[in-house]
Amino acid sequence: MAQATDRQHSIFRNLDWWTIGIYLALLVFGWISVCGASYTYGDTDIFTLDSRSGMQIVWIGTSLVLGFVLLMLDDRYFDTFAYVIYGVLVLLLFVTIFNPHEIKGSRSWLVLGPMRLQPAEFAKFATALALAKLMSTYGYNIHQWKHFAAALGVVLLPMLLIVGQKETGSALVYLSFFLMFYREGMPGSILFTGVAMVVYFVVGIKYEPDLLWETPTSLGKFVVLLLVQLFTSGMIYLYCHEKGKALGMSLFCLGVTLLALLFAKFVIPFDVVWVQLVISFLVIVYLLFQSLATRLSNYLLIALFAVGSIVFFYSADYVLNDVMKPHQRVRINVLLGLEEDLAGAGYNVHQSEIAIGSGGLRGKGFLNGTQTKLKFVPEQDTDFIFCTVGEEEGFLGSAGVLLLFLALVLRLIHLAERQTFKFGRVYGYCVLSIFLFHLFINVGMVLGLTPVIGIPLPFFSYGGSSLWGFTILLFIFMRIDAGRNLVRT
């Protein structure tokens, strides 16, 4: 008994109280925001369980209890039972696909009497544990494709099941694990490829209708194909260390493209994109030849990057116009500025921007926001809760909240880097990646900078599943960190 008590004292001595303090501060500000977002003029009691602010107190209280219980567990349990926890959550995700309760077009909720639980929120920490377990296994090497493929499988399985629940937003959160992969040694070229695909999609779709220099050449297609060629040349320099070949390829692509553009402008108008496609084909053939001649696989991989880039770009337009549902297509067009639709897909973001802008520097004060009180902003206490912060607390309050999140992010980086075992470090970076993704996308969509995909703001958005999921995610890491230097018996 004395040994157990000493162990508990050691845990609390080693616990990172700075992170706990930030967590508690976020809970307090989150409740104030939920209260402000759900309050209706004339309400006499904001603490009753019939109100959302009252129920959020229940979720906060149970989250604190849940966090305390996690701190009392032996941290070795998380390593030992990582795969078991992952298997149980994957099974729950699978079962949820077939549940008869559809809420807002999604089958992501399990209805248990008066309670509703969203397994996708809990699958995040389960996936993080499974990844930490896998990647800390003796002999694991992320540079070996079979090992990296196994980690990708751990991520993609719950992601696909969540897509099957028609909950695309929650599924996209799992892309955040690539930040952890990068920290653990994933080649930067993979991360760059993902960023390049986003650039191709945004630039290509946004500027495709525009014509270049009064020629029948799509500006979007022209820029994307030119980027593919320049990116390919840059990769030859970085990964093959051939400065001369990279420079020569760049000058060839730019020179021929410029001559074709001048010919189309002043002699015979034609679509320069066809010339760019021929240039790209010649570049790919050259890379394949170099791969065979030098027996360097890097040339082959760069060729695959070029082919994949072109295939991705030309398939993006097809997916946008022929695969996506109309409401999804409109959301992307609104985000890219191709449509305005203030009464439809752009309504949420437009009203959110009005609410934030009306807050000014210091805000309108607690429970005094007009946009939120009059319910102009849909989902204002869940996905769009940050607009309540902006309206009632103003720029200063919004900046304060973002600084709190920044402090949490920096603290998580510090804790992850000081782990003595790879299991703790991998899990810590998984936690960090998930929080970063939620923060960036949620605040971005409220400001009209990112697509509206419907994911909560950690510790702010109303709901038990979200709050419990983030609490479990964080406190498991707190417990792992607290036990990093304990003597095992």
Summarised one tens digit per residue, pLDDT across range 379-438 is: 788 899 999 999 999 999 999 999 999 999 999 999 999 999 999 999 999 999 999 999
Q: Select the more confidently predicted residue: 265 or 12.
A: 265
pLDDT at 335: 64
CA 388 – CA 369 distance, rounded (Å): 7
Q: Select the more confidently predicted residue: 270 or 334.
A: 270
Q: State mean pLDDT over 26-37.
A: 93
Please list, residue by residue across 416-446, b when 16 or more beta carbons sit within 10 angstroms of its beta carbon and e when fewer do: beebeeebbbbbbbbbbbbbbbbbebbbebb
Statement: residue 256 has pLDDT above 60: yes
Any idea which of 107-121, 151-165, 226-240 has the lowest mean pLDDT?
107-121
Q: For residue range 175-218, what is the model confidence (pLDDT) as tens digits?
A: 999 999 999 999 888 889 999 998 998 899 889 889 998 899 99
- The three-state secondary structure class of 156 is helix
The pTM is what? 0.88
Q: Give me the long-range contacts of 147-152 (CB less than 8 A, separation at least 24).
A: 148/181, 148/186, 151/181
> What's phi and psi for 78, nearest 5 deg?
-65, -35
Query: 166 with 464: CB under 8 angstroms?
Result: no
Q: For residue range 13-26, what is the model confidence (pLDDT) as tens digits?
A: 889 999 999 999 99
Statement: residue 7 has pLDDT above 80: no
pLDDT at 433: 97
Tell me the chain's radius of gyration from C-alpha atoms: 26
Averaged pLDDT of the chain: 89
Burial class of residue 234 (count of CB atoms within 10 Å of its CB; 0-12, 13-18, 19+)? middle
- The three-state secondary structure class of 272 is coil
Q: For residue range 276-334, what is the model confidence (pLDDT) as tens digits?
A: 999 999 999 999 999 999 888 899 999 999 999 999 999 987 777 776 777 667 767 76
Q: State mean pLDDT over 82-95.
A: 96
Query: 277 with 225: CB under 8 angstroms?
Result: yes
- Which amino acid makes up residue 81? F
Q: For residue range 122-152, what is the model confidence (pLDDT) as tens digits?
A: 999 999 999 999 999 999 999 999 999 999 9
Residue extents of the structural domains in the chain = 12-184+410-483, 190-330
CA 445 – CA 356 distance, rounded (Å): 13
Query: 244 with 229: CB under 8 angstroms?
Result: no
